[in-house]
């Protein structure tokens, strides 16, 4: 790796597979637009704006320099939110980013405030924004760990809009511009995410691929790579592709339990039912080094005794995933159904029995 900082994350399991200086402060350049896009997608989801809405760009778009990435929108000339979104994502247009920010935030500074609030909400503790497009500023910074976390939110929270990142080109104002993410052309499993470059930040790239997960029909495994501060575009492409392949070739991701899968049916006291089906509410995965899959052993730890009433989704224990005596991960286990209280007589009888069980 020639990157200043980098990380490889298995998005499916949420585990970091490898990293170099993941918490070092770095300049994000146009990777900033991942957050800009995220907030625009929130506005679309909440119906505060719509894709077919017409926008009249303000005078601020004239200030975008000739050496900056542009969609070539014009101040005072109507343009749709759709074209601005595609221009911001595929062409990395600073002008499109500014127009969208002013639409949603009222002003660029108002939108920046929204960006910083979102960063706090997501737990991005080492990130601070001062602009919407990623131009260099001493107080505009992040880390590759935070970029990976933000990118994971983007992928998981907005799958319907995330697919735009895989588009290979976009034409606006009769100017066709290709997506600068060259991995889209080199690996058919790559479907995002964002490039960035300034003289100060170097060449940056968040890349992610989705490939079938062995042993889990219909389920794909996603690996994400972040590299910043690369010396050349070629280096960021080579290092990113190597990072993705490293994640797939050296680690296996396993589905420990499926969504709503029954893990056990323990005894319930003082309830209308004597047993309770317990499990996990969503698919749970773990990533381990190659050759370690056969050593994985889930261990259930219950909060006993289980006493009604118990609501569907109530926490009742944990599953610890062990290998060679070491804990690799831990998942919450919940009730998969409601268990109401028994009658007075039933509760009294169980209370008496519990006295002897505890002894």
Q: What is the CATH number of the domain that holds 278?
A: 2.60.410.10
* Backbone torsions φ then ψ of 302, nearest 5 degrees: -95, 150
**Same domain (yes/no): 173, 24:** yes
| Domain ranges, residue 213 | 5-254
Q: How much is the pLDDT for 349?
A: 66
What pTM was computed for the model? 0.91
∠ CA 69-74-77 to the nearest 5 degrees?
145
**Same domain (yes/no): 164, 263:** no
Q: Strand 54-55 and strand 79-80: pairing?
A: antiparallel
**Same domain (yes/no): 158, 91:** yes
**Same domain (yes/no): 240, 287:** no
Per the structure, how many domains does the chain have? 2
**Same domain (yes/no): 245, 292:** no
**Same domain (yes/no): 12, 126:** yes
| Domain end residue (candidates: 229, 254, 279) | 254
| Domain end residue (candidates: 254, 281, 300) | 254
Instruction: Give Cβ neighbours of residue 159 (< 8 Å, ≥ 6 apart).
Output: none
| Domain end residue (candidates: 254, 289, 314) | 254
Q: How much is the pLDDT for 65?
A: 80
**Same domain (yes/no): 168, 215:** yes
**Same domain (yes/no): 92, 183:** yes
Q: Catalytic amino acids? A: 30, 33, 92
Distances (CA, A) of 292 to 185, 246, 252, 307, 320: 33, 16, 8, 38, 16
Q: How much is the pLDDT for 232?
A: 97
Buried b (16+ CB within 10 A) or exposed e, 275-289: ebbbbbeeebbbbbe
pLDDT tens, residue by residue, 18-27: 999 999 999 9
**Cβ-based neighbour number of residue 188 at 10 Å:** 9
**Same domain (yes/no): 329, 196:** no
* Backbone torsions φ then ψ of 120, nearest 5 degrees: -65, -40
**Same domain (yes/no): 234, 307:** no
**Same domain (yes/no): 150, 227:** yes
CATH of the domain at 204: 3.40.710.10
**Same domain (yes/no): 183, 44:** yes
Point out the residues of the chain with pLDDT beneath 50.
359
Query: Is 194 marked as a binding-site residue?
Result: yes
């Amino acid at each position: 790796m020639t990157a200043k900082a980098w990380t490889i994350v298995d998005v499916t399991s949420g585990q970091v597979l490898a990293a170099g200086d993941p918490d070092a402060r770095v300049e994000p350049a146009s990777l900033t637009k991942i957050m800009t896009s995220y907030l625009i997608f929130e506005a679309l989801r909440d119906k505060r704006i719509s894709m077919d809405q017409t926008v009249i760009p303000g005078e601020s778009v004239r200030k975008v320099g000739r050496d900056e990435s542009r969609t070539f929108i014009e101040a005072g000339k109507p343009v749709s939110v759709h074209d601005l979104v595609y221009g911001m994502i595929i062409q990395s247009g600073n002008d499109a980013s500014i127009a969208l920010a002013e639409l949603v935030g009222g002003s660029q500074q108002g939108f920046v405030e929204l960006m910083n609030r979102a960063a706090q909400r997501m737990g991005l503790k080492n990130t601070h924004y001062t602009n919407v497009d990623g131009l260099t500023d001493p107080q505009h910074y992040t880390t590759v760990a935070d970029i990976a976390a933000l990118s994971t939110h983007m992928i998981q929270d907005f799958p319907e809009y995330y697919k735009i990142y895989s588009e290979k080109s976009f034409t606006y104002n009769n100017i066709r511009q290709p997506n600068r993410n060259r991995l889209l052309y080199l690996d058919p499993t790559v479907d995002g995410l964002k490039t960035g470059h300034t003289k100060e930040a170097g060449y940056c790239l968040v890349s992610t691929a989705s490939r079938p997960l062995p042993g889990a029909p219909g389920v794909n495994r996603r690996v994400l790579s972040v590299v910043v501060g690369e010396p050349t575009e070629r280096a960021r492409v080579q290092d990113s592709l190597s990072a993705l392949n490293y994640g797939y070739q050296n680690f296996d991701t396993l589905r420990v339990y499926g969504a709503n899968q029954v893990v056990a049916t323990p005894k319930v006291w003082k309830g209308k039912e004597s047993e309770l089906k317990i499990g996990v509410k969503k698919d749970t995965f773990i990533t381990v080094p190659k050759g370690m899959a056969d050593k994985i052993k889930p261990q259930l730890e219950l909060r006993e005794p289980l006493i009604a009433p118990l609501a569907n989704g109530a926490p009742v224990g944990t599953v610890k995933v062990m290998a060679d005596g070491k804990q690799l991960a831990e998942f919450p286990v919940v009730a998969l159904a409601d268990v109401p209280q028994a009658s007075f007589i039933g509760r009294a009888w169980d209370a008496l029995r519990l006295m002897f069980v505890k002894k």
